[in-house]
Chains A and B, each alone.
Chain A
Amino acid sequence: MSQIALELLAALVKSVIIIAGLLGAFAYLTLIERRVLARFQRRVGPNRLGPFGLLQPIADALKMVFKEQIIPTQAKTVVFLLAPTISIFVAITAFGVVPLGDKFGSLPSYWQPALTDINIGVLYILAMSSLAVYGIVLGGWSSGNKYSLLGALRSAAQMVSYEVSIAISLSGVIMLAGTLSMIGIVHQQSSQHIWFILAQPLGFVLYGIAALAEVNRAPFDLPEAEQELTAGYLTEYSGLRWSLYQMSEYINMITTSSVLTTLYFGGWTFFGLENIPGLSILIFIVKVAFFLFIFMWLRATLPRIRYDMLMKLGWQVLMPLSVLNLLVTAYIVAFQQPWWIAGVFGLITLLIAGYAAASKIHPKKANVVTEGVALPTSVRLVKVESTPSPETAAIS
């Protein structure tokens, strides 16, 4: 009995720590993102409140708490109030199976720094993040606003499309590891002496892109595209409920980074450094922070893609490539070939795909203006005269 009580206590304490940690991380991620974006755009960013602006998140939180929470007259009140709660609940729950570090020496297993080690960990994260769409769809529908509804519908289509690629590209790692447990995958990587990024570069890139779309981050933030949809599903939300949506977006980002770290970058391991007690958690946090920085970097760099391009990318590029990755990995695993075959194959495929994408974005004939090309009305073609005008000729 006392054993069960101890385990319950451990679970409770760890849950509180994880939830508090996630909320704190959310608060400071907003600050870090604003500072990073400012640096990218050659601005200063929020730096007034405390050293380096460190008190800014507290001020933002206080402001949010005291803001009026408006419920539109056209809104379906119950669903409208429920939707942000679903979002944040799903986001926090999905993080539950992420192992934060190695277990501390002699402590019993229920004090290891992971909330739980269920034997379907990866599947659990997929299942939970597939529920995340409800928060957005219901929020958009219940607002009683066409912009919100359009944002919600976009989000539903986007998340369902990209979930397929996510599941298929992750299954490469699952086959290599032979387990669905997150802790098991980390142990497999240290026992096989590789990080799975080496064997699965293609799967890593595919999952990264699809996960970016799944968490609705730039350049895939179409559900909240402000030029077209005001703020999409967020339009009618204000105050704390709005920040609940923001919170779930950032927590989903953290979960995605944790999955990338755990599945492709060896989790808490770092060339034996993890054996120093307590350092494994730090290693994990640094790795996750690295991916979070990449998320911000992408947001600062890439413009939002168009909706038809989004669908094309999801169904015609990511899904076939992830099936290809799955087939090659299955061949490696089934015929017990060395892992580097999959790695080399993945790299070559990535190079080809990258070259194809680059030549599509910058075609070689781009500067040749042909007649009859369908152009948007905002683009005007200026005919450059071949012979220099008398004035310029005189100057030269």
Chain B
Amino acid sequence: MSANILAFSAVAALAIASGIGVIAFRNAIYSALSLIVNLLSLALFYLILNGMFIAAAQVLIYAGAIMVLFLFVVTMLSSDKAELQTSDRISWQRLVGVIAGIIFAAAASFLLLVHAQIAPDAAAQGSNNLFTQISAPGSGNTEAFGMALFHGFLFPFEVTSAIIVAAILGAVVLGRRSRAKSED
């Protein structure tokens, strides 16, 4: 158990440090790199929780695909400039940020103080214990994940895929229109 806590604290420190790095670096590429480290440490959290499948998916999708595109765009845009210009601050941004931060900290500390646990309650409510199947340690969590995705949550899954297809089509349409305009 103590090894678990040790691993958790190390990964948590990494996650917090990289999270601060995302907003603290003035160079966009270093921010992107910090975000990658942050996403990888999230994958490590999943591993600590025995969620091997979700950890691999996290690395594959977020760190391996999405952040590569981020980095692609950022390196292309800011290759010759050392820093991106960050002067376009909104005047009320800081005030709203502070208020939102206070609300978030209060909510998180309240949940911590009352020892809120999400998974067991949801498992009690769920009809066929999908959550307990997914969160079961050790083998079979890929199967449980697939069962949950394609039996329990099939409708949300399909709706999500429809939304993503719509987004892709939108991007294609927008890209094509702008190209035609630039050729004219």
Contacts and interface: CB of A to CB of B under 8 A. Distances in A.
A141 B68 CA distance: 13
Given A141-B29, A149-B79, A119 B139 contact: yes
Nearest to A142: B29
A130 B71 contact: no
Contact of B59 (A127, A138, A157): A127
A326 to B, nearest CB: 15
B60 A157 contact: no
A149 B65 CA distance: 19
Given A130-B60, A131-B63, A120 B79 contact: no
Size category, B interface: 20 to 34
A153 interface: yes
A157 to B, nearest CB: 7
Contacts of A138: 33
A109 to B, nearest CB: 14
Nearest to A130: B64
Interface in A126-171: 126-128, 130-131, 133-134, 137-138, 141, 146, 149, 152-153, 156-157, 159-160, 163, 167
Interface in A61-89: 79
Nearest to B59: A127
Interface in A84-138: 118-120, 123-124, 126-128, 130-131, 133-134, 137-138
Contacts of A120: 52-53, 56, 142
A107 to B, nearest CB: 22
B72 to A, nearest CB: 5
Contacts of A137: 68, 71-72, 75
B72 A119 contact: no
A163 B65 contact: yes
Interface in B16-37: 29, 33, 36
A131 to B, nearest CB: 6
Contacts of A126: 56, 60, 64
B142 A119 contact: yes
B103 interface: no
A180 interface: yes
Contacts of A152: 75
Contacts of B53: 120, 123
Contacts of A141: 29, 75, 79
Interface in B70-84: 71-72, 75-76, 79
Contacts of B102: none
Given A119-B139, A156-B68, A156-B71, A134 B60 contact: no
Contacts of B33: 79, 138
Nearest to A78: B30
B69 interface: yes
A149 B75 contact: yes
B65 A153 contact: no
Nearest to B36: A134
Contacts of B76: 153
B57 interface: yes
A42 B62 CA distance: 47
A79 B63 CA distance: 17
A157 B33 CA distance: 18
B36 to A, nearest CB: 7
Nearest to B71: A137
Given A123-B53, A157-B72, A160-B69, A180 B60 contact: no
B59 A131 contact: yes
B48 to A, nearest CB: 15
B168 to A, nearest CB: 13
A176 to B, nearest CB: 16
Given A141-B79, A156-B68, A180 B142 contact: yes
Contacts of A153: 72, 75-76
B29, B60, B63, B141 interface centre (most CB from chain A within 10 Å): B60
A-B pairs, top 9 by smallest CB distance, nearest first, are A130-B64, A127-B59, A123-B56, A127-B60, A156-B72, A141-B75, A127-B56, A120-B52, A120-B56
Given A120-B53, A149-B79, A156-B71, 6 more contacts: A118-B52, A127-B57, A131-B63, A134-B71, A153-B76, A160-B65
